[in-house]
Amino acid sequence: MARVAIVTGGTRGIGRAICEALKADGMTVVANYAGNEEKARAFTEETGIAAYKWDVGDHQATMDGCARVMDEVGPIDVLVNNAGITRDGTLMKMSFEDWNDVVRINLGGCFNMAKACFEGMRDRKWGRIVNIGSINGQAGQYGQVNYAAAKSGIHGFTKALAQEGARFGVTVNAIAPGYIDTDMVAAVPENVLEKIVARIPVGRLGHADEIARGVSFLASEDGGFITGSTLSINGGQHMY
């Protein structure tokens, strides 16, 4: 029987690439999304991957949404916490709402989804959780105290939960992408983007499918001895 995987923020960008990679691996994949229903329908038509709508930052909505997926599709074996937003600005200009929304969705979403899925994985003695962090959670970034804090929190969350899951066959890892050619990065002003690319040793932006291949490996049977790790896929921009 095929493993069931759920990818939050799965209908576009990195999330879509992850969905397509896991489907190619033979998994039954479900995408979660919170925004545009028209784009989600187009995604499902193009990929054959079902899309379920809820806000991962809403705890009860997440518990209810995951319960529905489990009822309609099957027990969730693989969870990819990819959903994320930005509300950039310096601390002096950042509102509490800008701070709270980013932390609630980017970091709180990981807790909510894990809370919904982890127990079943533990009971079945097999599970894979892959959390999408960020180079900016590792190195920080001007104008992103909210995003950097949330993504840095994901890396700590990963290490702690990995210790809870290890003896039950549940691995928990993170991937920290660098700058990837997605819509989020396309919104960066061109002159700023040129400066960013100039700091990437390989001399280009990453591609979404390069992140997806990392997720594919960590979610596989072959990734069973890897847990509590953060895989940096950033073209050499940040090394430590």
Active site residues: 147
Three-point CA angle 202, 208, 212, nearest 5°: 110
Residue type at 203 in one-letter notation: G
Judged by DSSP in three states, 176 sits in strand
67 strand-pairing partners: none
DSSP 132: E
Say how far residue 135 (Cα) sits from the centre of its chain.
13
Cα 228 to Cα 154: distance, rounded to the nearest angstrom: 11
- Using alpha carbons only, how large is the chain's radius of gyration in Å? 17
